[in-house]
């Protein structure tokens, strides 16, 4: 059975990272919408996965819609541009919104510093990204859709975090032993 997960890509500006992950090509022109939803089937760590990916596109005027998406999301990619300090500073807002809507102190998120190929335009250092990730208690990586760096890995890492959480919350049932089979199975129904 394939792993299924609903992922949300949250950023205050539109990023082409999802296009590369979903369609394996870099888009130079992009017309943003309120939100875009995609499904991708892939294999992560030798296990099939079906990912529903929703890009909220950071549209502030549709905040109520974003909250509805957050309620159903199982994991979040928090994306900022390393060439835009404002997008970096907005990450706190997204993280707080997720935790408020989920009514939790921590949740499954991965922080992505996008446009890592534009080092000469960098406004946010790798160390600042790592420090923010430590504060938010999330994984951090830098990516670039343009040069195909860490795009798949960013999505795959979030899936790994979700899988690990789900396995801790609902560990798989142990296989019955032959000795138990001889005695019969005892079930308790609440």
pTM greater than the 0.85 cutoff: no
Q: How confident is the model at residue 166 (pLDDT cuts 50, 70, 90)?
A: confident
Report whether pLDDT(30) > 70.
Answer: no
So what's the pLDDT on residue 176?
56
Confidence of residue 10 (pLDDT cuts 50, 70, 90): low
CA distances from 19 to 43, 57, 110, 165, 184 (A): 18, 13, 18, 27, 53
CATH fold for domain 3-183? Rossmann fold (3.40.50)
Extract the tokens encoding 189. Answer: 């129904």
138: which 2 tokens?
């999330």
DSSP codes of every residue in 106-120: ---EEEEEE-TT-GG
Q: Which tens digit of pLDDT belongs to each residue from 13-27?
A: 545 444 444 444 444
Tens of pLDDT, residues 40-88 = 788 899 998 888 877 765 555 556 667 878 888 888 889 899 999 998 9
């Amino acid at each position: 059975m394939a792993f299924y997960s609903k992922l949300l890509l949250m950023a205050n500006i539109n990023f082409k990272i999802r296009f590369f992950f979903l369609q394996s090509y870099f888009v130079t022109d992009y017309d943003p919408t309120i939100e875009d939803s995609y499904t991708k089937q892939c294999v992560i760590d030798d296990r099939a996965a079906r990912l529903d990916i929703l890009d909220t596109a950071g549209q502030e005027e549709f905040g109520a819609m974003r909250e509805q998406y957050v309620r159903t999301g199982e994991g979040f990619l928090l994306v900022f541009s390393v060439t835009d300090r404002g997008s970096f500073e907005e990450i706190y807002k997204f993280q707080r919104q997720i935790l408020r809507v989920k009514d939790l102190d921590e949740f499954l998120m991965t922080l992505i510093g996008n446009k890592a190929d534009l080092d000469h335009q960098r406004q946010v250092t790798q160390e600042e990204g790592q420090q923010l990730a430590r504060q938010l208690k999330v994984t951090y990586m830098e990516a670039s859709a343009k040069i195909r760096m860490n795009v798949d890995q960013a999505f795959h890492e979030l899936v790994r975090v979700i899988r690990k959480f789900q396995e801790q919350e609902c560990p798989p049932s142990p296989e019955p032993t032959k000795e138990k089979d001889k005695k019969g199975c005892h079930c308790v129904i609440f």
